[in-house]
Each structure stands twice: as structure tokens, then as C-alpha cells.
Structure 1
Amino acid sequence: MSMTPALPLLKRVSPGAWTALAWCASVAYPSVVLGGRTGQPSYMSGGTGHRDWAFISLATVMAFAASALLRRRPLVALVLLITASIAVSNAWRSGVQLPPAALLAVDVALCLITATYPRRTSRAAAAMVVGVLFAHLAMAPQMGGGLFHTGTTIGVSDGSLLVALIAWLAGRSMRQSREHAQTLGAQTAAQAVTAERLRIAREMHDTVAHSIGIVALQAGAARRVIDSRPDRARDALTEIEAAGRETLAGLRRMLGAMRQADQDAGAEVTPPHRLPGLADLDRLTAATASAGLRVDVRWHGERRPLLPEIDLAAFRIIQESVTNVVRHADTRSCQVSIDCRKEDEVAIEITDRGRGHSSTPGSGYGLAGLRERVALLHGEFHAAPRPHGGFHVSARLPVAGGTR
């Protein structure tokens, strides 16, 4: 049973929790870093050098409420955070600057809103923060080189504007990275679906083409002897019925396997049907013999079990080649050779002395599908008319470590 891997620890923290942690860090900053020294331009003091903890507590309650609202009402939460930051740092007073540390929670919220919410919401949040900072800079240009001051020194409030811009850019980068990852994931899923559909199409082609070839040959034989040998015609019709039923059963099994993925978890799942392999050659030769084509199968070396994909590919190569002999070669026999003498590969050859399948070597969808199937298994495949008549198909499938 597949299990979804757990998220990394940092991704388990909600945006509201990150904002609350940022607020706590901004509150602790003057005491831990500045030491609450008087005579210094520290914030969160009542202008007398000491901190008004009652006022800070009230602002903290407002900031925590904003953190709780961040997921549902991001713009309302941002307004509350800006209000709490300005109020607790006395930045509403004329001439008091707003340092970057006081806006730490606001910058974190702006980054998270830009990264996770629609572009319209993120732009509104950025405009709100930048507008407040520009308004504050217009009120306090004389305190250390504000934005509207003609000096060359970047003031404290200017630094807050730069940090807010960096937070917005970081959020935008996170958003673009997530969208890119989602696009790549969608493309990978689409490619996987396409590959699976191609695999199913090949399997259906191999199954149906073989059966249709047998049906066509048996129908022709029945038409020729229906007046002179009714018993032979009856046998041919019986083989046609059996081939049709077998093909329909195979298609139903394949469609049933495809629908299993759509079943609810916990529902009873039908075990997948066994894929054909070289062990089914006797059944294949019996079906073609009843259709008037004798298949001479020769084994070289010791038979050994193979991995399912190797075993299936070997059987499909023989099945498609024999089907082509039935449909195109106009001959009564063909030879199949399976060489298992090498430990690291299995070699397959199918030859006939008919008129050949096509003037172009390797033409036809069936042979193209076989060539692709063998290439996926890193094997070798050749199909071409023989110089003195007939057709020759050969394949080598690597089986190093492939026994089961």
C-alpha cells in the first residue's frame, strides 16, 4: 500500500505560526540585542527609555489575532499587523523612525501572502505595505536621511522599505518556484499517461491482430470447403468462434485492469490476469496449425524462467511474426528458433519461405511496435525479407540478472 511521505518539518509550520514567531522575535529584539539602553534610538519604548509592557501586550494580542486570520483574511491580517507594529514602536509620532526589526512580522506576512495567494491579493498587500512606509517617510525625513532627504545616507525607515521589497521579491520567487514545480509535475504525469496508453495500445494490437489473422484464414478455408467438406467448414467456424471469444476475454481483462485504479480504497480488487509468455507457445502453435500454418518451434539450450517483461516481449515477438506469416506470407509453414544457450541473453528467430511481408524492411505498425518494445529492453531487433524469398525476424533480449 502506497503512503504519502510526510512533509519536511519547516513546511508543517503554518503561515500564521511563522508570523507569530516573527512578532515574538521583533518584541524580543530590543531587550536581547539593544539591551533596552536609554539614550539610544530604540523602539518599543514610551519615549522615557523604558518599555510599556501593557501596551506591548495589547499589540501582541492584536498581532496574534492577525496571525490567526492570515489564512482566511490575508489583507485584514496585514492591516492588523501594520497597525500593531506602528503603534508599539511609536512610529505614529512625528519624527520617530520605523526600523526594519519592528516590521519583521509584517515582512514575513507579506512574503507568505505573495508566495501563496493569487497575484491580485499579493499586489494589494505589497501596495499596502509600501504605501504605509512612503507615508511614514514623508512624515519623518529629518531623522537620519529619509527617502525624501537630499543626503546620501540610507536612513532607518529607508531600510524598512528595502526589507519589505526584499520580502516581496522572496515571496514572488517562492511562488514562481512552486508554479514551475507544478508545471513539471503535470508534464510528467501527462507523459506517464501517454506512455501507459501506448503500452496498452501495443498490447491490444498484438492480441487483436493475431486473432484477426487466424479468423481471416479460417474464414477463407471455410468458404472454400463449405460445399465439399461441411465438416471441415464446421471445424473452421468453431476455431473462429474460439478465437473471437478469447480475444474478447483478453480485452475485458485489460479494461478491467485499467479500471482497478479507479476503485475506492478498501474495495475488493480482482487479481491481475497472468501475462502471456513463452510457456504459451504450445497454445499459439495449436491455434495457427488449425488455421493451416505449421509452426516448427526449436529450443536451443536449457529453458529457464525469465522476468515477466522479457518473457512477454519474447512471446509478443513470436506472436506478431507468426501473425504476419499467416496474413502476408502465403506459405504453409514457418520456423521459430529460441536460443537460451547464453546466460546473458535469449535470441529469437522466425523465418519463412513465403513471398515476404513488404518491400520495405521493417514496415508496418506491428514490426515498429516490436522494434520499440525491444529497444526499451535494451535489446536488438532486425526484420527484413530474405535474399532468396521469405522473411526473417530476429531479436536478442538481454537477460543478465533477469531470471526469476
Structure 2
Amino acid sequence: MSPRIRGLHACRAWFQARPRAADAVLALALLVAGLPQLYLEELPGGLERYYAQTDVWHLLLVVAVTMTLTWRRSRPLAVLGLIVAGEVVIAVAHYPPAAPDMVAFMVAVYSVAAHRGLAVAALGGLVALAALNAFMLVFPGDMALMSVLTDNAFVVGVWALGRNLRLRRAYLAELEDRAARLERARGTDARAARVEERSRIARELHDVVAHHVSVMTVQAGAARRIMDRHPAGAREAMTTIEEVGRTALSEMRRIVGVLRTERDAEPAGELAPQPGLGDLGELLDHVRETGLAVQLWIEGEARTPSPGVDVAAFRLIQEALTNTLKHAGPQARAWVRLHYTDRDLTVEIEDDGRGTATIMAGNGDHPGHGLVGMYERVALYGGELRIGPRVGGGFGVRARFPLEA
């Protein structure tokens, strides 16, 4: 951008910030352009015989009438009244009409219409029309019907232009306000989405940590019990603990990475995809390595659920088996059933252990965080969840997920 254009932009910004100064410059420009007319030796059409000679008082009246435009935006009706009053004084003194005060009259009509409400603007328009017709009667000149109609139409047109620009400014202001409201609403939605995402990540962390730490705890206990009489089995258990620990750290690193800033986030290539029902076999293998007998049944024609339902079903099974590991007892068995229909997927996890009371009690009088996470996760995808004791002993979790969003 050239220095000249930058200077013009800076000047425009300065005047926009100081509207009264801009209006004062407008009034001065009218005076500079129109005052030489006052010193013409002859008026058009020989009208000079009807008027008094221009003198200092005439000059001062024209300057005073024109400079009132300085307040045309803040006090438009008062400015119009002062200009009309000044024109009356000029007419009574028989001074000839001058371009500055006539243009100032039109600018005042426009300002009333553009900067005031309809009632005040209508009053200003009526005052302007009355003053115009009175001036045409007082000042000598052509009073032909066409001239009268043309002058009145011109005043009405200037008034209508001011009203149109006012309505346009109000419309643009409403659009800007609506855009600002939408922007604030988007910001609120974004904050709500961040809160929801953090809640989801908290559930993910709970599932990951609870499952893997439970597996590691069970394996460590088994290794301690058999360390003296079965060192090979103890080493195998310690190897499982190491592998599960690495897996837990990897998943925790991936999930926590979502919370990092873009600058600190890991490269996208290092982030593994979310687990789903396709990883169920690996999960059950890990659980079986802890000593818990788990069987899997798949009924119906397997269908691919939505990614969210896929993750939710996997995490539900993971959480339920984690609770079985922690609370069911050493001789417990577990069953996992996946039942597909055309419209939904039913997931059932049951065990025959003795941990029903512990699971339901949770922390104090409230269900544990894992059960709360189950309810939230299933409800998020429009599913249904039932949790409670099994007939004949043990504990059961049954969830139904719709396959379509």
C-alpha cells in the first residue's frame, strides 16, 4: 500500500472517530465554495433590484447559518430550526439567497431524516416543506407550478434519502449484532464441546487405567504367591505385567495427547486409532492371562456399528471385565455375548462371582465411577443399560446400542 493511500485511510479513520470535526469541515467547504457568489455584481435574471446589497452582516448571517451544520448529527432538529430561523432573518433583511445557506438547509433536512426516529424525522420534514414554500412566496422569482412541485419533490427526495440510509444502517447494525451473537453462541458451543470432550477423555482414562492396573495387580499377586515354588510362572506373570504396563502407558499417552496444545501435541502418525470390537480378542486374551476364564459368543450376523458405538461397546466390556477381576473372586468365570440384529447390538457381560455388593456400593452410598461412566457412555449413543445381580449369583451388565445414528 502506497504512503498516499495509507494517509487517506488514516485521515478517514480520524474523521470517523470525530464526526463533529468532519461536519465542521463540510460547513467550511460549503462556505469556501459558495461565498464568492455573494460578491457578484449582478444576480441572474436581473433579480439584484429586489435585494439589498451584500455587506458584512449578510456575510456573518450566511457563515452562522452554514456553520450550524457542525452539530447536524448530534442535534439535527435544532440545527434545522436554526437554519430556518437564519433564512427568515435573511429574507426579512432583503439579502439575496446564497448557495451555502441553501445547501445547508438541504443537508439539515437529510440529517434529521438520517439521524432521528420516524416521529422527529417526520416533524423535521414538515418544517422543511413549510419553510421552503414560505421562502418561495417571500423571495422574488419564478412561482410557476412546475418549479414549486420540483422544489418540493427535491426536499422530499432528500428526506427520503436520509430515511433510507438510516434504515440501511439499522439493518447493517442488526446483522453485525446477530453475527456477534452467533459468534458468542459458537464460542459457548465450543466450550461445551470441550467440556464434553474432557468428560469423555476422563472416562477413557478411567477405563484404561482401571483395566490395566487391575490386570497388573492380579498378575503381581499371582507372581508373589508362586515365586518360590514356580519361578518360571512368576517370570511369565512379570512379563505380562510389563506388557500390560506398556500398553497402559501407550493408551494413556494417546488419550492425554488430546488435551495438549497444538504446539506440544505428538505427531499424528504416533497416535493409534481408538480400540473397538475388532480388538475384543486381544482384550479377552489379556484377561485370560490373569486367570479369569472368559468365554465369547457372537449371535446374529455381525454388522459394522458406527465408530462411536464401536468404541463405547468395547469400553463397556473392558469396564465390566475389570470389575469382575477386582470384585468377583479368584474362582469366578465370565461370559461375553454380542447379539446383532438389523437395528441394534446387544452386549452382555456376566460373571458368577461374589462381588455384587462391592460393585454396586462404589464409593460411599453412590455407584462407582466406572458404573457412572457406563451409563453416560451408553446414553450418549441412545442406548439402554441394565446393571445388577444375576439370577443364581454373580453380576450382569446388559446394554443395547442402536446400530444407526
Q: Deviations over 1:323-344 (max 9, x none)?
A: 010011224211111112x111
- Does the 8 Å CA contact 2:389/2:396 hold for their aligned counterparts? yes
- Does the 8 Å CA contact 1:95/1:140 hold for their aligned counterparts? no
Q: Output the CA distance in 1 between the equivalents of 2:386 and 2:310.
A: 18
Q: Output the CA distance in 2 between the equivalents of 1:323 and 1:85.
A: 84
Q: Output the CA distance in 1 between the equivalents of 2:225 and 2:17.
A: 84
| Structure 1: runs of 5+ lacking an equivalent | 1-64, 107-126, 145-154
CA gap of 1:178–1:346, structure 2 versus 1, over 3 A, is closer
Q: Output the CA distance in 1 between the equivalents of 2:315 and 2:222.
A: 26
Q: How does 1:179-328 map to 2 (within 5 A)?
A: 179-256=180-257, 259=260, 261-262=262-263, 269-270=268-269, 272-328=271-327
Q: Which residue of 2 aligns with 1:88?
A: 30
Q: Output the CA distance in 2 between the equivalents of 1:371 and 1:315.
A: 14
Deviation at 1:216, TM superposition (A): 1.4
AA matched with 1:336: V
Describe the SS at the equivalent of 1:130: coil
- Does the 8 Å CA contact 1:222/1:233 hold for their aligned counterparts? yes
- Does the 8 Å CA contact 1:329/1:354 hold for their aligned counterparts? yes
Describe the SS at the equivalent of 1:303: coil
Describe the SS at the equivalent of 1:383: strand
- Does the 8 Å CA contact 1:347/1:394 hold for their aligned counterparts? yes
- Does the 8 Å CA contact 2:324/2:351 hold for their aligned counterparts? yes
Q: How does 1:24-173 map to 2 (within 5 A)?
A: 69-71=11-13, 74-76=16-18, 79-80=21-22, 82-84=24-26, 87-88=29-30, 93=62, 129-130=73-74, 134=78, 137-138=81-82, 140-141=84-85, 157=108, 160-161=111-112, 163-165=114-116, 167=166, 170=170
| Structure 2: runs of 5+ lacking an equivalent | 1-6, 36-60, 89-104, 118-165
Deviation at 1:275, TM superposition (A): 1.8
Residues 1:380 and 2:384 are matched in the alignment? yes
- Does the 8 Å CA contact 1:222/1:236 hold for their aligned counterparts? yes
- Does the 8 Å CA contact 1:257/1:272 hold for their aligned counterparts? no
Q: Output the CA distance in 1 between the equivalents of 2:303 and 2:390.
A: 30
Q: How many pairs are equivalent?
A: 300
Greater C-alpha radius of gyration = 2
Q: Output the CA distance in 2 between the equivalents of 1:302 and 1:172.
A: 59
Q: Output the CA distance in 1 between the equivalents of 2:202 and 2:339.
A: 29
CA gap of 1:282–1:165, structure 2 versus 1, over 3 A, is same
Deviation at 1:86, TM superposition (A): 6.6
**TM score, norm. by length of structure 1:** 0.62
- Does the 8 Å CA contact 1:95/1:141 hold for their aligned counterparts? no
Give the structure with the higher percent helix: 2
**TM score, norm. by length of structure 2:** 0.62
Q: Let me know the Cα RMSD of the aligned residues.
A: 3.9
CA gap of 1:359–1:205, structure 2 versus 1, over 3 A, is closer
CA gap of 1:297–1:315, structure 2 versus 1, over 3 A, is same
Deviation at 1:245, TM superposition (A): 0.7
Describe the SS at the equivalent of 1:393: strand
Q: Deviations over 1:224-265 (max 9, x none)?
A: 22333333222222211111111111122334455584489x
Q: Output the CA distance in 1 between the equivalents of 2:288 and 2:74.
A: 85
CA gap of 1:85–1:66, structure 2 versus 1, over 3 A, is farther
CA gap of 1:94–1:71, structure 2 versus 1, over 3 A, is closer
